[in-house]
C-alpha cells in the first residue's frame, strides 16, 4: 500500500489535487471509495468539492471506525480517498497504520497539517494530531498565495503556508475553538509575516515560565 498525503493551508488546492489523483486512478479502472467528515457540509453533504467547483462523490462519516465497516462491505476497493483528514477522530491513525501493511490498497488523503494557531492539527476530541500519520506517508506540500492587504492596499502575494482564522474581519484569539468549518469569510491564506494569532505570545510566555 501507499499512503499519499496532500497537505497545506486553506486555498492551496488540496481538495482539487485529491480529486485529480482519484480521477487518474479511475482511468485505469481502479475501484475507488471516498470519505469525508460529516462535519464538513460547506458545499455538499455527499460530495467532496473544491473551492473551484471540482467534485467527487463521497460517504460522510462521523466516526473513522465506520470506514472499516464500509471497506468490509466493499472488499474489491483498491483506492481510499479521504478529504479534510484533520477533522476525523484519532481512529483514522489506526486505519492508516493498518493499511500501511497492506499491498492491496492505496490511500490518498488531503488536509490541513497546521491549525490556525500554527500548531499540528489535533484530531477530534484527541491530543493526537496529524503528525502521527505523516511518517507513514509520501507527502505533497502545497502553498497558497498570501492575501493580506497591506497599508497601501496591495495584496502581499507571497507564498502562504498558514491559515488565518478571522472573527469579524480580525485575527482570531489563541483561545478560540479549534474547529470552525468555513470558507473565505472566515479564513485567509497567509505568509508567516502576515499570520497573526491574538494572545499566542501570552500563552507561550506563560508556558515557558511555568516549565522552568
Containing domain of residue 180, as a range?
2-210
Catalytic option among 84, 97, 132, 198: 84
- Quick: pLDDT tens for 165-189: 998 888 999 998 877 765 546 899 9
In the chain the first and final C-alpha atoms are separated, in Å, by 45
For the CA atoms of 49, 97, 29, 48, the dihedral, rounded to the nearest 10 degrees, stands at -10
Residue 16 is a catalytic residue = no
Evaluate whether 163 touches 112 at the Cβ level (below 8 Å).
yes
Overall domain count for the chain: 1
CA distance 117 to 174: 6
pLDDT in tens, 19-72: 999 999 999 999 999 999 998 777 777 899 888 888 999 999 999 999 999 999
Output the domain CATH number for residue 124.
3.40.50.300
Amino acid at each position: 500500500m501507499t499512503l499519499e498525503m496532500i497537505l497545506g493551508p486553506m486555498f492551496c488546492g488540496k481538495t482539487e489535487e485529491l480529486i485529480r489523483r482519484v480521477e487518474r486512478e479511475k482511468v485505469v479502472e481502479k475501484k475507488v471509495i471516498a470519505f469525508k467528515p460529516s462535519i464538513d457540509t460547506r458545499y455538499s453533504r455527499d460530495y467532496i468539492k473544491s473551492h473551484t467547483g471540482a467534485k467527487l462523490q463521497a460517504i460522510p462519516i462521523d466516526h473513522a471506525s465506520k470506514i472499516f465497516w464500509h471497506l468490509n462491505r466493499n472488499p474489491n476497493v483498491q483506492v481510499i480517498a479521504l478529504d479534510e483528514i484533520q477533522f476525523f477522530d484519532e481512529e483514522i491513525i489506526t486505519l492508516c497504520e493498518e493499511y500501511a501493511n497492506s499491498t492491496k490498497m492505496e490511500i490518498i488523503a488531503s488536509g490541513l497539517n497546521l491549525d490556525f494557531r500554527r500548531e499540528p492539527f489535533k484530531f477530534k476530541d484527541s491530543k493526537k494530531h496529524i503528525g502521527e500519520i505523516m511518517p507513514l506517508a509520501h507527502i505533497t506540500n502545497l502553498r497558497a498565495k498570501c492575501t493580506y492587504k497591506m497599508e497601501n492596499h496591495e495584496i502581499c502575494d507571497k507564498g502562504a503556508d498558514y491559515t488565518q482564522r478571522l472573527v469579524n474581519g480580525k485575527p482570531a484569539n489563541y483561545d478560540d475553538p479549534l474547529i470552525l468549518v468555513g470558507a473565505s469569510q472566515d479564513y485567509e491564506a497567509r505568509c508567516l509575516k502576515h499570520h497573526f494569532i491574538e494572545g499566542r505570545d501570552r500563552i507561550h510566555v506563560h508556558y515557558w515560565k511555568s516549565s522552568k
